[in-house]
Chain A
Amino acid sequence: KQEVTQIPAALSVPEGENLVLNCSFTDSAIYNLQWFRQDPGKGLTSLLLIQSSQREQTSGRLNASLDKSSGRSTLYIAASQPGDSATYLCAVRLRRGSTLGRLYFGRGTQLTVWP
């Protein structure tokens, strides 16, 4: 069974800092990996999707990297802002059974950026 772990569980930083959120997974035979953002009381919004053949993806101030062999992904947030405060979730899709599209989620990192 795929286990997805996110560290740290919570993070509180002042505005302007560069951040790294970590995600690790036990089964390296993944099809792709996604990072989501979840605001309190809201649904999930997809931030970045990295295919297994890719090393990284970038969107604005966000950069996600993937090291499939070591079972790790990082989400880098540059120049953090209070509006970045949310819970960030990592999810992987296994190559085995990839036609089903099933995602395995980590428990998330709760980020607070204070002014």
Chain B
Amino acid sequence: NAGVTQTPKFRVLKTGQSMTLLCAQDMNHEYMYWYRQDPGMGLRLIHYSVGEGTTAKGEVPDGYNVSRLKKQNFLLGLESAAPSQTSVYFCASTPNAQETQYFGPGTRLLVL
């Protein structure tokens, strides 16, 4: 039981490049979330999903897209990376909206 895993762990992009961050959970959780963490800002919600095939915008969704084609995977895409997207990205999952969220180890992204 690996819990929540994220790939890659670290990535450097040039402005304008695209990439996809993968989040996978093996706990059969319905709800999944993508957050970004920036110094002095705390964690902010980017997008979330309340079940397979559903996605919704969070607090800071601009510049990102997501997909949840399979229950266990939640993908975060950056179509045209910008330096403002330099951050640490965390994925989380939970069986229902009222219980603890389980976090992945994070992906550090640097956009030059």
Q: What is the interface of chain A, defined by CB distance below 8 A to chain B?
A: 4, 31-32, 34, 36, 41-46, 49, 89, 91, 93, 98-103, 105-108
Q: In which size bucket is the chain B interface?
A: 20 to 34
B100 touches A105 (CB 8 A): no
Within the assembled complex, what's the spacing in Å between the Cα atoms of A31 and B50?
18
Shortest CB–CB separation between residue B13 and chain A, in angstroms?
A: 20
Question: Is B101 an interface residue, CB under 8 A from the partner?
Answer: yes
B100 touches A42 (CB 8 A): no
Within the assembled complex, what's the spacing in Å between the Cα atoms of A33 and B44?
16
Which of B61-69, B75-83, B103-111 interfaces with chain A?
A: B103-111
Within the assembled complex, what's the spacing in Å between the Cα atoms of A46 and B56?
24
Of the candidates B31, B33, B42, which one forms a contact with A107 in the assembled complex, judged by CB atoms under 8 Å apart? Answer: B42
Chain A interface SS verdict (over half): strand
Within the assembled complex, what's the spacing in Å between the Cα atoms of A99 and B48?
12
26 chain-A/chain-B pairs, Cβ below 8 angstroms: A4-B42, A31-B98, A32-B98, A34-B100, A36-B103, A43-B4, A43-B105, A43-B106, A44-B90, A44-B92, A45-B103, A46-B102, A49-B100, A91-B43, A93-B97, A93-B98, A100-B48, A100-B50, A101-B48, A101-B97, A101-B98, A102-B45, A102-B58, A103-B101, A107-B41, A107-B42
